[in-house]
Amino acid sequence: MSTLSGISIAKIWFDVIITLLSGICFPISGPPVVSIAQSSYSVNIGNSITLFCTVSATPPEFNVYWTRAITNQQEEVISTTNSGKYSGSTVSSPSLVIFNTDLNDIALYRCHAENSVGIGQSNTTTLTVVGSKLMVVWQFSGCELKYVIHQDPITKMSSSGSITYK
């Protein structure tokens, strides 16, 4: 048997083959790698928006969910079950769709995925809502009921709580 500086050539080939096979037949496992497409999103009030999420996992993920945090509060899990407000957030469709956005949707969002090894999470993304806030003020005058509609043009409101008016 040939040797190279005291190491058998057969041993070297054995190590090379095992190294190649371990990457092909036995992929490296770990918690899911979760990423979001953008660090921030902006939407006009009343419109829908999709927050894009991708997941790569070995072994495959069996659960995907989103959380949101409003101005330094703890993250809360978003429920998409029987919800007319949200959809997605599944293994087959990990992105989150928010319907009919309003000022309550302004927050930091994060995508999470879980497999048998652990839980992976994305960085946060900020959702900013742009548009007008319609406010109805009821006024009582004697026995007569009147209402006044005020429209405050909000050009930008972010998860930090800052509001910019026109």
Domain annotation covers residue 142: no
pLDDT band at residue 139, thresholds of 50, 70 and 90? low
Same domain, 46 and 94: yes
pLDDT score of 166 more than 70: no
Per-residue model confidence as pLDDT tens digits over 8-44: 665 655 555 555 555 555 567 999 999 999 999 999 9
Can you tell me which residue has the tokens 């972010």? 158
pLDDT band at residue 93, thresholds of 50, 70 and 90? very high
Q: Checking DSSP bridges between strand 163-165 and strand 125-141, what pairing results, if any?
A: unpaired
Instruction: State the total domains in the chain.
Output: 2
Domain annotation covers residue 157: no
Same domain, 104 and 82: yes
Same domain, 78 and 6: no
Q: What residues make up the domain containing 47? A: 31-128
Which token pair is 68? Answer: 């949101």
pLDDT score of 136 more than 80: no
Per-residue model confidence as pLDDT tens digits over 43-74: 999 999 999 999 999 999 999 999 999 877 89
pTM of the model: 0.68
Alpha carbons 136 and 146: distance in angstroms, whole number? 10
Domain annotation covers residue 166: no
Q: Are 110 and 127 in contact (CB under 8 A)?
A: no
Domain annotation covers residue 75: yes
Overall average pLDDT of the 99-107 stretch: 95
* Cβ atoms within 10 Å of 3's Cβ, excluding its own: 11
